[in-house]
Amino acid sequence: MAGPTSRLFSRGVDLGRHRHRLLLLRNLQSAAAAADPKLCPLSSAAPPVRSYSSAFTSVHGGRPSSEYAKIRKESLETQFGRILGSSSHTIFADRRFGPFLAVYRAATISFHVVKLTIWHLLLSDVHKRAEKFRETLIRLGPFYIKLGQALSTRPDILPSAYCQELSKLQDQIPPFPTRIAVRTIESELGSRISDLFADISPEPIAAASLGQVYKAHLHSGELVAVKVQRPGMAPLLTLDALLFNMIGGQLKRFAKARKDLLVAVNEIVRHMFDEIDYVLEGKNAERFAILYSHGSGGGSMTSIKVPKVYWNYTRKSILALEWIDGIKLTDAERISKANLNRKSMIDEGLYCSLRQLLEDGFFHADPHPGNLVATEDGSLAYFDFGMMGDIPRHYRVGLIQMLVHYVNRDSLGLANDFHSLGFVPEGTDLHAIATALRVAFGDGRRQSNDFQGVMNHLYDVMYDFNFSLPPDYALVIRALGSLEGTAKALDPDFKVIESAYPFVIGRLLADPSPDMRKILRELLICDDGSIRWNRLERLHADCSYISTVARIFKRTGR
Mean pLDDT over 311-319 rounds to 97
Between 451 and 258, residue with greater pLDDT: 451
Beta strand residue intervals within 219-299, DSSP E:
223-229
CA 426 to chain CA mean position, Å = 26
CA distance 475 to 539: 29
32-36, 348-352, 400-404, 530-534: least confident range? 32-36
Sorted by sequence, the CB contacts under 8 Å of residue 33 that are 6+ apart come out as 39, 40
Cβ atoms of residues 214 and 181 within 8 Å:
yes
Q: Which member of 156, 260, 360, 366 is catalytic?
A: 366
- For residue 205, what are the β-bridge partners? none
pLDDT score of 555: 47
Mean pLDDT over 36-44 rounds to 39
CA-based end-to-end distance of the chain: 62
Mean pLDDT of the chain: 77
pLDDT score of 186: 97
pLDDT score of 198: 97
C-alpha distances out from residue 207 to 149, 172, 528, 538, Å: 17, 9, 60, 47
CA distance 203 to 477: 35
pLDDT score of 254: 64
pLDDT score of 244: 79
Sorted by sequence, the CB contacts under 8 Å of residue 254 that are 6+ apart come out as 116, 117, 119, 120, 129, 133
Between 228 and 525, residue with greater pLDDT: 228
CA distance 389 to 372: 17
Q: What is the pLDDT of residues 60-81, one digit of tens each?
A: 334 445 555 566 566 655 655 5
Q: What is the pLDDT of residues 11-33, one digit of tens each?
A: 444 444 544 454 444 554 554 44
Q: Is 237 exposed, middle or buried (0-12, 13-18, 19+ CB in 10 A)?
A: buried
Q: Which amino acid appears at position 541 of this protein?
A: A
Between 303 and 83, residue with greater pLDDT: 303
CA 419 to chain CA mean position, Å = 21
For the question of residue 366 being annotated catalytic, the response is yes
pLDDT score of 449: 61
Sorted by sequence, the CB contacts under 8 Å of residue 341 that are 6+ apart come out as 300, 302, 378
Mean pLDDT over 494-498 rounds to 82
Q: What is the pLDDT of residues 362-393, one digit of tens each?
A: 999 888 878 889 998 889 999 999 989 988 88
Q: For residue 38, is pLDDT > 50?
A: no
**Percent share of the chain, pLDDT over 90:** 23
DSSP-based three-state secondary structure for 426: coil
Cβ atoms of residues 319 and 282 within 8 Å:
yes
Reported as a pLDDT band with limits 50, 70 and 90, residue 481 is: confident
Q: What is the pLDDT of residues 216-263, one digit of tens each?
A: 999 999 999 999 999 988 888 888 888 877 666 666 666 666 656 767
Mean pLDDT over 409-436 rounds to 88
pLDDT score of 114: 86
pLDDT score of 484: 84
Q: What is the pLDDT of residues 153-195, one digit of tens each?
A: 777 778 888 888 888 886 657 899 999 999 999 999 999 999 9
Specify the pTM. Answer: 0.76
Dihedral sign, CA of 221, 181, 195, 309? Answer: negative
Kind of pairing, strands 206-207 and 211-218?
antiparallel
A 10 A CB-CB count for 14 gives: 10
Which H or E element spans position 207? strand 206-207
Long-range residue pairs from 64-68, CB within 8 A, at least 24 positions apart, any chain: 64/394, 64/395, 64/397, 64/398, 64/417, 64/420, 64/421, 65/394, 65/420, 65/422, 66/419, 66/420, 66/421, 66/422, 66/426, 67/422, 68/392, 68/394, 68/422
Mean pLDDT over 270-278 rounds to 89
- For residue 74, what are the β-bridge partners? none
CA distance 504 to 400: 7
Q: For residue 499, is pLDDT > 50?
A: yes
Sorted by sequence, the CB contacts under 8 Å of residue 274 that are 6+ apart come out as 280, 386, 387, 388
CA distance 153 to 135: 18
pLDDT score of 460: 76
Q: Using alpha carbons, select from 276, 365, 285 the residue that is nearest to residue 317.
A: 276
Identify which of 8-12, 265-269, 482-486 has the greatest average pLDDT: 482-486
CA distance 303 to 169: 31
Identify which of 246-250, 294-298, 474-478 has the greatest average pLDDT: 474-478
Burial call 355-390: b when 16+ CB within 10 Å, e when fewer: bbbbbbbbbbbbbbbbbbbbbebbbbbbbbbbbbbb
Between 536 and 285, residue with greater pLDDT: 285
Kind of pairing, strands 304-305 and 380-382?
parallel
A 10 A CB-CB count for 300 gives: 10
